[in-house]
Chains A and B, each alone.
Chain A
Amino acid sequence: MERLRKYGFVAGFLVVPLTLYSVFVISPYVQAFQLSLTSWNGYSAIVRYVGLDNFGRLLGDEVFWQALRNHGLLLLALPLTTLVIALFLSFLLNLGGGARGAGMRGVWGSKFYRVVFFFPQVLAVAVVGVLFQAIYRPDEDGVINGLLAKFGIEPVGWLIEPGLALWSVMAVMVWQGVGFYVVLFSAGMAAIPKDYFEAAAIDGAGRVRLFFSITLPLLRDTVQVGWIYLGIAALDGFALIQVLVGDKGEPDGATTILPITIYKNAFSFGKVGYASAMGVALFFLTVTFAVLTLRTTRRERVEL
């Protein structure tokens, strides 16, 4: 009886969030799995099941593979670049000034920089997209090309050259993401006891040695989390690419990504079933990535 009262009490609290979670998260997932087995067009009342046909078609779909290649590139480059820059900046902001008085401090003006670095994170993605359209504009009215023109350099088609477009988009993602990770790593660094640095510094460790032997190993968990966040971001990119270069993967499929392909298939081409199959594929890609990252980077925790 008492047990019932206890669990009833707990369950009473959980009913509302669990209901919301199942209606708005679990049920769409279940439906996507269900729809991926159909040829539903988004309108018809009769839903025809086609088994695994949609997945079979995925394997032969050039656009799908093109999107996967782009995601692969993003997965390799985006987390690495963002994390390296963020680690470097947060080290400078928190410990770069060396040991002075009690504990470590950042470079001069670090409080100000911290705010500045976080700015891009505050901007809405649509705003960032429009902003960078002006920056990347391929004629002399563009911000970068206007500068280049001053040195007599021909305008560069940042977003219209197949070899450049994805890197240009990635640069925006990095620019926007770094601030968040600087703050994340700063918090992580603040949690490292000062004695470690002092002890190492007394033993004659320089800043580089401090970073690689103390900061980085003790930040491992935070970096791991950042890596997973960025990996998921690399599998998304919907809003930014939609605003910056449009939904056709231009130029020549260089910016084709799965979320936009899914959206177009579902809502523009009326292939909701097929789009759901892509969604299911994306779901497994994301989960696989997260699990793999957690598994391969697992290590015994360092007790602070």
Chain B
Amino acid sequence: MTYPGEITRRQLLRRIGMAAFVAGPGAGLLSACATGGAGGGSAAPTTSIAASADAKNPFGVDARKPLEVVIFSGGYKDSYAKDLHEELYKKAFPGVSIKHTGTQQIGTQLRPRIVGGDVPDVLNNSGPDALDLAALAAEGHLADLAPLFDAPSIDDPAKKVRDTVTPAVIVNAKINDRDLVLNYTVSHRALWYNAKLFASKGWTLPKTWAEFTALGDTAKAEGILLFAYPGQKGPYYQLWNVLYTAAKIGGNQVLIDIDNLVDNAWNADGMRQAVAAWVDIQAKYGDKAYFGLDHTQTQVKQLQNELLFYPVGSWIENEMEKDKPADFEYAIAPIPDVTAADKMPYGAIQVGVGENFVVGAKGKNPQGGLEYLRIMLSKEGARGFTMKTRNLTVVNGAANGLDLPAGLMSAAKAQDAAGQNIITDARFEGWYKELFDYGTEQINVVMAGRITPEQFCTNMQRKADDIKQDEAVAKQTRSQ
């Protein structure tokens, strides 16, 4: 007599036999395959961690649980995490152990682990080998950050974390309407130039396209190139530049439409005018040799005063710090007015948040992950980051009183001057990598004059349409 649910020895053997038959010989070995079989876990929605009002430990971190932190060790290196944020975490929870990994190969290192359902507690997802966050979110690997934003801040328990950071953090945190990503740095993108060279020549910043080209002629007479971007490795700097110019001409809606894959978004007037304007600059004032130079080679040329304007972000100052001669001082220049009727007035620059941090929902210590991010968003954590990397963070007022380098100061001033006229970021870079990758290739083709600006817009539109129709690509939308 057998009880319900009990398996007899005979049944057991039969089942093992069936399993062996189904799996076939060698299945034991092959089960270590790329997709991980059923071991990956289901895509169940992540449960949020409740935040208490306890300002010391709102997420209920267990100090006995170790924390794993993976940092992209790129331009910012990883010492800000290792020597600063992790130390602060250890101070808050004495005796806790932290496993730190600094790598430039985020995807290569983590992809196999993630497929197996093993995600680090804190992940700085950045660099050319970054993971697809939307795909991770779809699998429920990313912890909800809403409790973090609603938790009391470290410096002032009466204030929520969400009120201590720049609003763009909250807007950019969303994937499919859930707060999953923390952007930690603020960068200012426009054209960058040598303020000391301008001062010594008595040149002023061009405000209109006519002044821009006039300065191009003046500079040409002195053997200086008006503008260049790196055709190798860094053509996306120029893609950004063209996109931001389009937003200046036609308003941020141009970029929002492009991100939302709206029909004919790439054929908008602002976009076409922006491409045409820059192609014209390249043809009249550019040098085709730069199509074959990479970002470092181009940036060194700028340090040697061989070119005036370079489209990049505020990280450039720290990046070139070692090579920068004494008579070079980085400063930001807004994109000049392209038409007389640009939607955004002169002075508009792009101010964006960047450097993604996520917390693993299925990791061993998601509470610790949230707490780690809360520590990063403290004044001490943010100031330390700025001092170590010379880049600003999203924490309001964290850099107050710090002795900022000249370039960052100029960026801060430009942001004040721009006021509400802030150019938004183009998010298809992260959402639809294939489209962005295609854009960075096509921008070289159009800038080199091998296709017309109209053809560029048509090509981009066709690619965007392909992506829109591709069911395999998860779609994102934005309203602002």
A residues sitting closer than 8 Å to B (CB atoms) are 19, 22-23, 27, 30-31, 35, 39-47, 136-139, 155, 157-160, 162, 245-246, 248-252, 264, 267-274
Q: Do A269 and B434 touch (CB < 8 A)?
A: yes
Known: A45-B139, A271-B472. A249 touches B291 (CB 8 A): no
Contacts of B136 in A (CB 8 A): 43
Q: Do B292 and A137 touch (CB < 8 A)?
A: yes
Q: Do B35 and A35 touch (CB < 8 A)?
A: yes
A269: which of B115, B433, B441 is its contact (CB, 8 Å)? Answer: B433
Query: Considering residues B33, B38, B287, which has the most beta carbons from chain A within 10 angstroms of its beta carbon?
Result: B33
Q: Do B135 and A44 touch (CB < 8 A)?
A: yes
A43: which of B108, B135, B288, B292 is its contact (CB, 8 Å)? Answer: B135
Known: A45-B41, A268-B433. A138 touches B29 (CB 8 A): no
Contacts of A251 in B (CB 8 A): 291, 444-445, 448, 450
Q: Do A46 and B43 touch (CB < 8 A)?
A: yes
Return A223 CB to nearest CB of chain B, in Å: 37
Q: Do A45 and B291 touch (CB < 8 A)?
A: no
Known: A41-B135, A251-B445. A157 touches B289 (CB 8 A): yes
Given A27-B33, A43-B131, 19 other A-B contacts at CB below 8 A?
A22-B26, A27-B32, A40-B35, A42-B115, A42-B132, A43-B114, A43-B115, A43-B135, A43-B141, A45-B35, A138-B289, A138-B293, A155-B289, A245-B232, A248-B440, A251-B445, A251-B448, A272-B34, A274-B472
Contact with A along B240-281 (1 / 0, CB 8 A): 000000000000000000000000000000000000000000
> Bound complex: CA of A43 vs CA of B136, how far in Å?
7
Interface size on B, residues (CB 8 A): 46
B441: which of A22, A44, A162, A248 is its contact (CB, 8 Å)? Answer: A248
> Bound complex: CA of A35 vs CA of B35, how far in Å?
9
Known: A39-B472, A45-B38. A160 touches B29 (CB 8 A): no
Contact with A along B130-150 (1 / 0, CB 8 A): 011001101101000000000
Q: Do A42 and B437 touch (CB < 8 A)?
A: no
Q: Do A45 and B42 touch (CB < 8 A)?
A: yes
Q: Do A268 and B437 touch (CB < 8 A)?
A: yes
> Bound complex: CA of A192 vs CA of B360, how far in Å?
66
Return B253 CB to nearest CB of chain A, in Å: 27
Q: Do A42 and B232 touch (CB < 8 A)?
A: no
Contacts of B107 in A (CB 8 A): 267
Query: Considering residues A42, A158, A159, which has the most beta carbons from chain B within 10 angstroms of its beta carbon?
Result: A42
> Bound complex: CA of A248 vs CA of B291, how far in Å?
13
> Bound complex: CA of A86 vs CA of B433, how far in Å?
43
Q: Does B409 contact A (CB under 8 A)?
A: no
Contacts of A272 in B (CB 8 A): 34
B140 nearest in chain A by CB position:
A45
> Bound complex: CA of A99 vs CA of B253, how far in Å?
81
Known: A22-B26, A251-B445, A267-B107. A138 touches B288 (CB 8 A): yes
Main SS class of interface, A? loop
| Minimum-distance CB pairs A-B, first 10 | A45-B40, A138-B292, A139-B289, A43-B135, A248-B441, A160-B292, A160-B291, A138-B289, A269-B434, A270-B132
> Bound complex: CA of A268 vs CA of B440, how far in Å?
14
Contact with A along B72-116 (1 / 0, CB 8 A): 000000000000000000000000000000000001100100110
Contacts of B450 in A (CB 8 A): 162, 251-252
Return B323 CB to nearest CB of chain A, in Å: 16
> Bound complex: CA of A271 vs CA of B474, how far in Å?
12
> Bound complex: CA of A268 vs CA of B129, how far in Å?
7
Q: Does B66 contact A (CB under 8 A)?
A: no
Q: Do A159 and B292 touch (CB < 8 A)?
A: yes
Return A22 CB to nearest CB of chain B, in Å: 6
Contact with A along B416-446 (1 / 0, CB 8 A): 0000000000000000011001001100110
> Bound complex: CA of A44 vs CA of B139, how far in Å?
6
Contacts of B26 in A (CB 8 A): 22
5 of the cross-chain contacts (CB-CB < 8 Å) are: A41-B135, A42-B115, A45-B38, A139-B293, A160-B231
Q: Does B210 contact A (CB under 8 A)?
A: no
Q: Do B289 and A35 touch (CB < 8 A)?
A: no
Contacts of A249 in B (CB 8 A): 441
> Bound complex: CA of A72 vs CA of B433, how far in Å?
28
> Bound complex: CA of A267 vs CA of B448, how far in Å?
29
> Bound complex: CA of A271 vs CA of B434, how far in Å?
10
Return B101 CB to nearest CB of chain A, in Å: 19
> Bound complex: CA of A272 vs CA of B35, how far in Å?
10
> Bound complex: CA of A187 vs CA of B444, how far in Å?
47
Query: Considering residues B42, B141, B289, B450, which has the most beta carbons from chain A within 10 angstroms of its beta carbon?
Result: B289
Q: Do B30 and A27 touch (CB < 8 A)?
A: yes
Q: Do A250 and B444 touch (CB < 8 A)?
A: yes
> Bound complex: CA of A23 vs CA of B33, how far in Å?
9
Known: A45-B38, A138-B293. A267 touches B437 (CB 8 A): no
B438 nearest in chain A by CB position:
A248
